Structure 1
Amino acid sequence: MTQTQPASPAPQTDKDPWPALIALCIGFFMILLDTTIVTVATPAIIEDLDASVNAVVWVTSAYLLAYAVPVLITGRLGDRFGPRNLYLTGLAVFTAASLWCGLTTTVEGLIIARVFQGFGASMMTPQTMAIITRIFPMDRRGQAMALWGATAGVATLVGPVLGGVLTDAFGWEWIFFINVPVGIAAFVLALRLVPKLPTNQHRFDWLGVVLSGVGMFLLVFGIQEAHQYDWSTITGEITVWRMIIAGLVVIAAFVWWQAKNSQEPLMPLRLFRDRNFSVANLGIAAVSFGFTAMGFPLMLWAQGVRHYSPTESGMLLIPMAVVSIVAAPVVGKLTDKVHPRILTGTGFTILTAAMAVSALILAADTPLWQILVAMGFVGLGSSFLWAVLTATATRNLPLELAGAGAGVYNALRQVGAVLGSAGIALFIDSRLAAQGLEQAGGGEGAVQKMPPQIADRFSEAMGQSLLLVPAVLVVGFLAVMLFERPKHFGAATSACSAVPVPAAPAE
């Protein structure tokens, strides 16, 4: 049995912690890159594997779902068996699954491989934050968290760009093959540079894991497959509506069990007594929904209507990435000085407007500069959201709840992404059908370079689908208007280090 030792205050090693952080960020960058890198390769995968748009959207949904559900408990597994060990195990699983993804010859095989990728990613993410918390002293932890946050933002934004370059130059398989050498290098670096840390015992809420997993699967599958089955029977007596309702019932049972569980619930409900924590979770779920959903219609339009290559399609998002990277440090300096309601309200306003404009101007003959300007404003809006929502989420929480709070925050961020992937698949299918282009949603005809007579209708369908994103972002805007002034506002650091810390032993 593993010897249980009390955790001591960070740092727990005399070594410089920065090399360990760099090693962790390489793996973290890779797993977040894979949440968005597939979108630009969607048309190539559809054509090569003779798959439908909906089936290929499952390539992303399966990854996000397998990433989101276990992340609530993998942080505690890191406490029990060591965060370094869980990180290395997850990295090995992720890297092996990436090779599997590239070698598969069917969309079904690709979806299964992506599930294993998601499991690997779910083991890695909480460990990065737990290790940072325990190897950096409080006065340098903010800088470390800033680098971690910048890694997350850059990975999410550059995924489609890199995906386009790799798909164009080598084929869609290489968006997965590229992970193999990077994963091996990250594994060696982490093995050498990340220190071993003491472990703690935990009671694991396995019933909570099962209920949350089953509920999310039923809900996501029902939403994403709804139009495919015309909102009716899937098989036997199982209907789309029954599956969605069953998912909601199981999720309600999960919430009930979390309230009843007096040991160590997977999601301590007392976290939500803090208004800022609850608001930040709703806000980040809306943002994650939007950024996951927007790529699919935009990339299908760019390659199907405008006949852009994957590289050219990915380059449409360069203004978004550049503006976000430039603006994020400026906004970061304001996080401890300006009320989060002002910063996030500004971000949601800009982002919602930019997404709405992008949807409304999408047409076969839309001038390129209009799309690029809109994407620049998307990047500007996002720069006011990622870091501020993360910093505000656990700022008010007591130290003993920081780990649990961060686990819930990261899980709900991924849940937003899962629902974004499922929701946009439903809207694309329904809008194509409304335009009389239902056959464009499946098989090789999905994104073949289309003649002018149907390009206008396809563009309108993609624009209408994209309107789902600003509609959801409005919910995020309304939520952040409820932010309160954080406790200890203006302090350089707080007990919770201004950034959520997944499941680390109490210090």
Structure 2
Amino acid sequence: MQQHDQDGLPQPQRRGAVIAIAVSIALSVMDSSIANVALPTIAADLRVEPAEAILVVNAYQIAVIMSLLPLASLGEKLGYERIYRCGLMLFIASSFFCAMAGSLTELTLARVAQGFGAAGLMSVNTALVRLIYPQRLLGQGMGINALVVATSSVLGPGVASAVLSVAHWPWIFALNIPIGLAALTLALRFLPATPRASRRFDAGSALLSAGTFGMLMTGAEQLARGAPPVRALLLLAGGVLCGILLWRRQSGRAAPLLPVDLLRIPIFALSVATSVGSFMAQMMTFVALPFFLQHDLGRTQVETGLLMMPWPLALIVMSPLAGRASDRVPAGLLGGVGLACMAAGLALLATLPAAPNTFDIGWRMALCGLGFGLFQTPNNRTLLTAAPRERSGGASGMLSTARLTGQTLGAALAALCLRMVDGGPQLALLGASCIAAAAALISFTRLRAAPR
């Protein structure tokens, strides 16, 4: 087993570790959106309203975001590779129960367990990348990892469409099992031993962190679903209270579970805020589009997945170009321009003509993907390199927390739009456009916060 005091892993161990991480993180990120295309079918099959079916997406997101920072901190104590392997095992097992679910309650509980497993992967993913690659190749490793995450986050609908063209919706989740087992085999063999911190794990802060994010996100989700306002407001108030207590408990600590030390770095904090906004806009879009394309435009679920594919394809093309450009161009500028393009593409999607052809939809989706790709890789690189190397776990957890916070809030806002008005999908797309534009403005402010 490779020791953590060496500069990266030798070949072929590095290659095996990279493949294990890439495959498993792709599965966990993809599952945040893979069910979106099937939501209308799941709602009909399980005899629930469309706004209720969105709980299949939100339950996963909430479980992940509740446990990300505690697991990142636990990884620094027990070893990143142990958290990663255990998370992958839980993800595989819960995918089986998702596929076997016969009611919305069963599917939701299985998705919660799946989210906890995914959090084990996401929380320490970037920290492992920093140990797998030698310092001279660290930029390359981060670029590959950012591309996998960014692509996977929008590839879910296309994969779901391919599965649904030949099978029923449970197979969307069953697909994780053989692929996950292959990744687990590689992870058990190739992931390196990682440093173990001598400090004690702060269980009190972990509970406060879970309470903060869990109650805030659940409260937002309850409001979106039309739950009694008193219940939702109590959850939101509880989340705010836990957050205040967590902030006070963590302030002044050398390596806090909630990385308040990193959030005091302007470029880090602005990059986190930009990431939250971008993923809010993305998730609002990917929840609303299936309903828009299938219910309003009369497309099939297979056609829906294919029509959404230009976004990830454009992202795949743009991400490596953006990564190379970030060596010379400030991330604040690249991110601002990229998010402005995304905002324009979303506004154009919301204002499609009554009977658009495939090209009308496709080029608008591609514009969104190009903009998101121009933003994502430079933003991730800036966020991660702003943190000291010894705080890799905290930075990795915060990067994933920002993404999941945005995705969870975006899904809740999309559900609110779908529930409140007849033209809900178009309203969600316009809202996503406004959020992307606001994130672009935040990105531009980074030009004054740091030279890169």
| TM-score, normalised relative to structure 1 | 0.84
SS at match of 1:188: helix
C-alpha distance in 1 between matches for 2:438 and 2:244: 21
2:298 is aligned to 307
Q: Percent identity?
A: 25
Matches for 1:283-294 after TM superposition, within 5 Å: 283-294=274-285
Distance 1:324 1:186, change over 3 A: same
CA distance, structure 1, for counterparts of residue 268 and residue 132 of structure 2: 25
Specify the alignment match of 1:355 in structure 2.
346
Deviation at 1:16, TM superposition (A): 4.2
Measured in 1, the distance between the counterparts of 2:213 and 2:142 equals: 30
- 1:316 and 2:307 matched: yes
C-alpha distance 137-461 of structure 1, shift in aligned 2 (>3 A)? closer
Quote how far apart the aligned CAs of 1:384 are: 1.2
1:184-237 deviations in whole A, cap 9, x for unaligned? 1111122222233453333223222222322333322332222544763xxxxx
Structure 1 runs not aligned, ≥5 long: 1-5, 233-237, 433-459, 490-507
Kept after mapping to 2: 8 A contact 1:100/1:113? yes
Q: Please say which of residues 209-218 and 84-93 is displaced more in the overlay.
A: 209-218
Counterpart amino acid of 1:58? L
In the superposition, relative to structure 1, how do residues 222 and 80 fare at CA in structure 2: closer, same or farther (>3 Å)? closer
Deviations 1:456-485 (A, max 9, x none): xxxx33212222211222321221121147
| Partner residue in 2 for 1:443 | none
* Local SS of the residue matching 1:287: helix
Letter paired with 2:91: F
**Is residue 2:78 matched to residue 1:115?**
no
Residue pairs, 1:167-178, within 5 angstroms: 167-178=164-175
Q: Cα distance 1:402–1:87, how it changes in 2: closer, same or farther (>3 A)? A: closer
Secondary structure, in 3 states, of the residue corresponding to 1:204? coil
Worse overlay, 18-27 or 378-387: 18-27
- The residue number in structure 2 matching 1:124 is 121
1:141 aligns with 2:141: no
Secondary structure of 1:40's aligned partner: coil
User: How many pairs align?
Assistant: 451
Would the alpha carbon gap of residues 486 and 305 (structure 1) be closer, same or farther in structure 2, given more than 3 Å must change? Answer: closer
Shift of the alpha carbon at 1:77? 2.2
- Between the aligned partners of 2:450 and 2:13, the Cα distance in structure 1 is 32
Task: Supply the distance in 1 between the matched residues of 2:336 and 2:18 (Cα, whole angstroms).
Answer: 32
Match of 1:64 among 42, 61, 66: 61
Residue 317 of structure 2 aligns with an amino acid whose one-letter code is V
Q: For residue 241 of structure 1, what is the amino acid of its counterpart? A: L
The whole-number CA distance in structure 2 between the counterparts of 1:248 and 1:27 is 33
Q: Match for 1:406: what amino acid?
A: S
Structure of greater Rg = 1
Contact 1:54 1:224 in 2 (8 A): no
Match of 1:470 in 2: 433
Quote the Cα distance in structure 2 between the aligned partners of 1:245 and 1:84.
Answer: 36
Separation (CA, whole Å) in 1 of partners of 2:219 and 2:72: 29
Q: Is 2:245 the counterpart of 1:253?
A: yes
Displacement of 1:426 after TM fit? 1.2
Higher helix share: 2
Structure 2, gaps ≥5 residues long? none
Shifted more, 417-426 versus 171-180: the winner is 417-426
After superposition, give the CA deviation of every residue in 1:266-289 in whole Å (9 maximum; x if it has no partner).
Answer: 113221221110110001111111
What is the Cα deviation at residue 331 of structure 1?
1.4
The aligned runs of 1:42-61 (5 Å cut-off) are 42-61=39-58
Change (3 A) 1:101 1:314: same
Q: Is the 8 A contact 2:122 2:397 kept in 1?
A: no
Give the TM-score, by structure 2 length: 0.93
Task: Pick the aligned partner of 1:165 from 157, 162, 175.
Answer: 162
- Indicate yes or no: 2:149 matched with 1:186: no
RMSD: 2.3
Matched, 1:429 2:419: yes
- Whether the 8 Å CA contact 2:318–2:373 is kept in 1: the answer is yes
The 4+ residue runs of structure 1 with deviation greater than 4 A are 12-16, 485-489
Which letter does structure 1 place at the counterpart of 2:439?
G
Contact 2:276 / 2:406 at 8 angstroms: preserved in 1? yes
Equivalent in the alignment of 2:236 = 244
Measure, in 1, the Cα distance between the counterparts of 2:162 and 2:11. Answer: 42
1:372 aligns with 2:369: no
1:217 aligns with 2:217: no
Tell me the SS of whatever aligns to 2:130.
helix
